[in-house]
Chains A and B, each alone.
Chain A
């Protein structure tokens, strides 16, 4: 079945025309647009996959084959509905620009914030934009996406860094704060360069390689309390809109996501409103777009799931909540199951809900990750009702090493 046919099937299923059964991808699409058979569970394999395969960070984050195969193995082993290749997407464009990174043996690389690439206004004048797909580690990402499409027969969710977060990282947080306060014209020039010369061409390249219908710009630094809402509105949103208008189309949605801070302001709707604008500004035909409102565990645990669910329903947008990574790491299983049940019963409503597993620490017992997925599958069928966690049945699973031999793809 072609991707377009699957999309159509999923969207019509989500609106009530429930013909046939859904595979994982179709379930995710149906969960974004309306009501699938059950809540979709999606995974960002990331360093958990790296650790499970005993790969070094250098290998995982520079060689596409081990990266994709390890990520795919993890997603297949745990039986999630969908996964996307998640690399260190805050670093790729910066790396391509020449920003120094710190590499470690068993965690993702980080921008070396002690040596930001832009220390003076003059530095911006001399900065050369990357050649999309060819500079730095962009070839690794391009190859990873190509391998994903080959293996899965589907387009991935594309990821890149947003211009605002890129500005903070390339300039240094404190320097950029000073720029925004005292030299806004320079801040805007930097944003313009990163938007039009770096992000837009890179998004175009990602779409060319994958034919994806969704690209997400990740924007961790556009978050309270690190940034105030007025700062985000002046220096972030207009550039999100520029990227979206320059790169989206009727069949492709580009959006900004990944920020947080609902618990750090007096009214969480202040942040939720900004998150909505990060998706919708510049994107017409809203009801046809695969938007999702992502709220992180630190925030929903503090402000409550119900008000966030109410907000999502009022704005007719899919709600995506992650399961707290430390909970998955520490367990025990009954506590994990109770939490998943709580997320489902308070967050899933009657439709438009996705459960996300991400940032699982290396060394997390596989039983715990299996418990998340199994609980979501057992209790996540619509209508959700009032599931009883004590009835949870942990399915049998093979040790990962045994599974790998029989069903895994090679990572070396």
Chain B
């Protein structure tokens, strides 16, 4: 079996130690970092995403595949230079203030990175002010907000309002997701889109950035 396929299978299976070993082996054998990423790790995470959409994989499977992907990404990303590091856009992600959940956000982040977006993950419990600061600093194309509880969803409206107050709302698309959130809610608060799951979230970002 060739190294790319082995690596892809290891990522798909969530075997991050094996994925790391195979990625190192591939780099040592002279494979271009971009190929290690795209043909190995990205292929694996996309396969995992497809299996999830087909109902064959469950969230734990996707989470472990994401971890394996992130492990390879950590290794390969610093080696990508110039045109190898071509980015399709910049995305800021975060779970809104008061919300400590990050599973969905982490999967979305991995999927976006695998699709060659630059992702600035602000983490969890992120205030509206911090989102605005990040918007000023990194000039993202898209800001992705996660809220996983009914009691924290309101934080999304605050972020949108804060972006408006800062005069930044027209220069960035805002998409939302999370267990408590619906497409109706996205419309009501003036978000640009709603992602019901990580794979759809990437498609949404592709459409909003003109990459679809």
Binding site for B on A (CB under 8 A): 47, 102, 104, 107, 110-113, 173-174, 177-178, 181, 224-228, 231, 266, 298, 325-326, 329, 359, 361-362
Given contacts A107-B98, A181-B14, contact A47 B103 (CB under 8 A): no
Q: Please determine whether A228 and B180 come into contact, CB atoms closer than 8 angstroms.
A: no
Residue of B nearest to A230 (CB): B58
Number of interface residues of B (CB under 8 A): 23
A298 in complex: contacting residue of B58, B67, B98, B179, CB < 8 Å: B179
B100 contacts chain A at the CB level, 8 A cutoff: yes
For the complex of A and B, 6 pairs with smallest distance between CB atoms: A225-B59, A110-B100, A325-B150, A107-B98, A228-B58, A177-B60
On chain B, the residues within 8 Å of A110 by CB distance are 100
Count how many pairs of residues, one from A and one from B, have CB atoms less than 8 Å apart in the complex. Answer: 55
Q: Is the beta-carbon distance between A181 and B64 smaller than 8 angstroms? A: yes
Q: List 14 A-B contacts (CB under 8 A).
A: A102-B125, A107-B151, A107-B152, A110-B100, A113-B102, A174-B63, A177-B63, A178-B64, A181-B60, A228-B60, A266-B55, A326-B153, A326-B180, A326-B185
- A158 and B110 CA atoms in complex are apart in Å by 41
Which residues of the other chain, B, contact A266 by a CB distance below 8 angstroms? 55
Write out the residue numbers on chain A whose beta carbons fall within 8 Å of the beta carbon of B151.
47, 107, 325, 359, 361-362
Q: How far is the CB of B64 from chain A (nearest CB, A)?
A: 6
B5 at the interface (CB under 8 A from A): no
Q: How far is the CA of A10 from the CA of B150 in the complex (A)?
A: 35
- The winner among B14, B58, B63, B154 for most chain A CB atoms within 10 A is B58
Q: For the complex formed, measure the closest distance between the CB of A47 and the CB atoms of chain B, giving whole angstroms.
A: 7
Given A181-B14, A326-B153, A362-B151 in contact, is the A231-B60 Cβ separation under 8 Å? yes
A-facing residues in B133-148 (Cβ within 8 Å): none
Question: Residue of A at shortest CB range from B181?
Answer: A326
Interface residues of chain B, those whose CB is within 8 Å of chain A, are 14, 55, 58-60, 63-64, 67, 98, 100, 102-103, 124-125, 149-154, 179-180, 185
Query: With A113-B100, A173-B103, A174-B67 in contact, do A359 and B60 touch (Cβ < 8 Å)?
Result: no
A178 partner residues in chain B, CB cutoff 8 A: 64, 67
Contact of B60 among A227, A325, A326, A362 (CB under 8 A): A227
Alpha-carbon gap, A266 to B14, bound state (A) = 23
Cα distance A307–B160 in the bound complex, in angstroms: 39
Contact B180 A226 (CB under 8 A): no
Q: A177-B63, A181-B64 are in contact. Are A226 and B103 (CB under 8 A)?
A: yes
6 A-B pairs besides A228-B58, A326-B180, A359-B150 with CB distance below 8 A are: A110-B100, A177-B64, A178-B67, A181-B60, A227-B60, A228-B60
- Give the distance to chain B from A1, nearest Cβ to Cβ, in Å: 38
Q: From residue A262, how far is it (CB to closest CB) to chain B in Å?
A: 14
Q: Which of B63, B103, B150 contacts A361 (CB 8 A)?
A: B150
* List of A residues within 8 angstroms of B180 by Cβ: 326
| Distance (whole angstroms) from the CB of A214 to the closest CB of chain B | 26
- Which residues of A lie under 8 Å from residue B63 when comparing CB positions? 173-174, 177
Q: Which residues of B contact A177 (CB under 8 A)?
A: 60, 63-64
Alpha-carbon distance A281/B21, docked complex (angstroms): 44
Which B residue sits closest to A359, measured CB to CB? B150
A148 shortest CB reach to chain B, Å: 23
In the complex, residue of chain A having the shortest beta-carbon distance to the beta carbon of B52: A225
Q: For B124, what are the chain A residues with a Cβ–Cβ distance below 8 Å?
A: 113
Minimal Cβ-Cβ distance residue in A for B102: A113
CB distance from A60 to the nearest CB of B (A): 14
Complex CA–CA separation, A226 to B125 (angstroms)? 20
Q: Which residues of A have CB within 8 Å of B152?
A: 107
On whether A226 and B59 interact (CB within 8 A), knowing A107-B98, A113-B102, A177-B64, the answer reads yes
The interface centre, meaning the residue of B67, B150, B152, B179 with most chain A CB atoms within 10 A of its CB, is B150
Chain B contacts of A112 at CB under 8 A?
100
Please give, as numbers and ranges, the residues of chain A lying within 8 Å of B150 by CB-CB distance: 325-326, 329, 359, 361
A259 to B21, alpha carbons, bound, how many Å? 38
Q: Which residues of B have CB within 8 Å of A225? A: 58-59
